[in-house]
């Protein structure tokens, strides 16, 4: 299924049913009074988050969604039936925005969460409502009011505990496939990942976390270069960032690798400063291709010096599974600590 993370639709709530103009017409009842009933309320448009969906692709085929109108009132003071609400299912992590004003109408994160987005119209009043001591045969009714109609933008931000970031071909897809059952496309050319991939990393009974692989970032991503600008938003809901660094490019010096790391961090800060405050792991990948360990030592030294980095720097090989156990359990601990701090 194609991954779609943005869609534009229109939602129309149902209009209220009109009130009824009616008088009693019964044998042996002289001058029967008014008995027109009220109409029914229009149906509302309600968005419902469900974990059974993971893309907005369905909204590419249907663009207009309408709730049912309320039914007309009837004689004998019978109220018209209310229109049925329209329930629209969306993936967890979907934000609903007014397409014109960009106002956030709902942020649907939890499974089963619901939000009324377009309110149905109010029912019309039947002529019974206008009966009084001075107006015994009213011929007044009111039509139902129109339901709300809104142009909507849907934005899906994937929900993950750990977000992978790095340059194209840093090995993010290989890492997520080694740690989970996710099977993203893997190839030896840039931008093989064209949309986010999610994988569940299981370390034991009730010990797991969700990892997200997004397309590789390049310098200028926050301004629209490459694929990064479109998918940087998927890092905003992650709890921990894992910065994967490819150390196999033989013609690069350690200073060049540090420069590339700084470029990625600059893009994060430019897109959203909040991303810089998230817990972050630095991981040197593809160490099985390096024979001279002093090269790795020099990279670490310069990373710590240039970035003022005091945390651990992991050395792994996603292909050979070197160092993955330590990394996996430390990520689990970081995700758990995040929960403790936030909640």
Query: Which CATH fold would you assign to the domain 162-342?
Result: Rossmann fold (3.40.50)
Alpha carbon distance 155, 116 (integer Å): 17
pLDDT score for 141:
94
pLDDT score for 231:
62
Contact yes or no for 81/38 (Cβ under 8 A): no
- Written as six digits, the tokens of 76 are 């004998």
- In this predicted model, which residue has the larger pLDDT, 197 or 239? 239
Model confidence at 195, pLDDT cuts 50, 70, 90, reads: low
Whether the pLDDT of residue 186 is over 60: the answer is no
pLDDT score for 196:
66
Model confidence at 197, pLDDT cuts 50, 70, 90, reads: confident
- Per-residue pLDDT reduced to its tens digit, 61-96: 889 999 999 999 999 899 999 999 999 999 888 999
Contact yes or no for 121/38 (Cβ under 8 A): no
Q: Kindly list the domain boundaries of the chain, sorted by start residue.
A: 6-156, 162-342
CATH number of 6-156: 2.70.210.12
Nearest 5°: the CA angle 185, 188, 191 is 60
The gap from C-alpha 230 to its chain's centroid, in whole angstroms, comes to 13
Whole-number average pLDDT of the chain: 83
The gap from C-alpha 132 to its chain's centroid, in whole angstroms, comes to 54
Q: What is the pTM of this model?
A: 0.69
- Written as six digits, the tokens of 37 are 């009933």
């Amino acid at each position: 299924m194609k991954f779609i993370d943005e869609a534009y639709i229109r939602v129309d709530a149902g209009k209220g049913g009109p009130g009824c103009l009616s008088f009693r017409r019964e044998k042996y009842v002289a001058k029967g009074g008014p008995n027109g009933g009220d109409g029914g309320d229009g149906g509302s448009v309600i968005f419902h988050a469900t974990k059974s969906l993971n893309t907005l692709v369905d909204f590419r085929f249907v663009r207009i969604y309408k709730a049912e109108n309320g039914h007309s009132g009837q004689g004998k003071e019978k109220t018209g039936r209310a229109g049925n609400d329209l329930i629209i299912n969306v993936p967890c992590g979907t934000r609903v925005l007014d397409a014109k004003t960009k106002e956030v109408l709902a942020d649907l994160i939890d499974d089963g969460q619901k939000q009324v987005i377009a309110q149905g119209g109010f029912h019309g009043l039947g002529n019974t409502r206008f009966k009084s001591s001075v107006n015994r045969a009213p011929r007044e009714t009111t039509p139902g009011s129109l339901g709300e109609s809104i142009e909507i933008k849907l934005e899906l931000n994937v929900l993950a505990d750990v977000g992978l970031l790095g340059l194209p071909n840093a090995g993010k897809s290989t890492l997520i496939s080694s740690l989970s059952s996710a099977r993203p496309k893997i190839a030896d050319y840039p931008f093989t990942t064209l949309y986010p991939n999610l994988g569940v990393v299981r370390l034991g009974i009730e010990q797991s976390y969700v990892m997200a692989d997004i397309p590789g970032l390049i310098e200028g991503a926050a301004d629209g270069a490459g694929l990064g600008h479109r998918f940087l938003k998927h890092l905003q809901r992650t709890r921990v960032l894992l910065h994967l660094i490819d150390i196999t490019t033989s013609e690069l010096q350690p200073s060049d690798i540090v420069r590339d790391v700084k470029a990625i961090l600059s893009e994060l800060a430019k897109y959203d400063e909040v991303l810089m405050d998230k817990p972050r792991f630095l991981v040197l990948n593809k160490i099985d291709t390096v024979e001279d360990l002093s090269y790795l030592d020099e990279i670490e030294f310069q990373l710590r010096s240039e970035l003022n980095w005091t945390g651990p720097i992991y050395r792994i090989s996603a292909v050979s599974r070197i160092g993955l156990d330590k990394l996996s359990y430390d990520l689990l601990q970081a995700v758990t600590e995040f929960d403790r701090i936030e909640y």
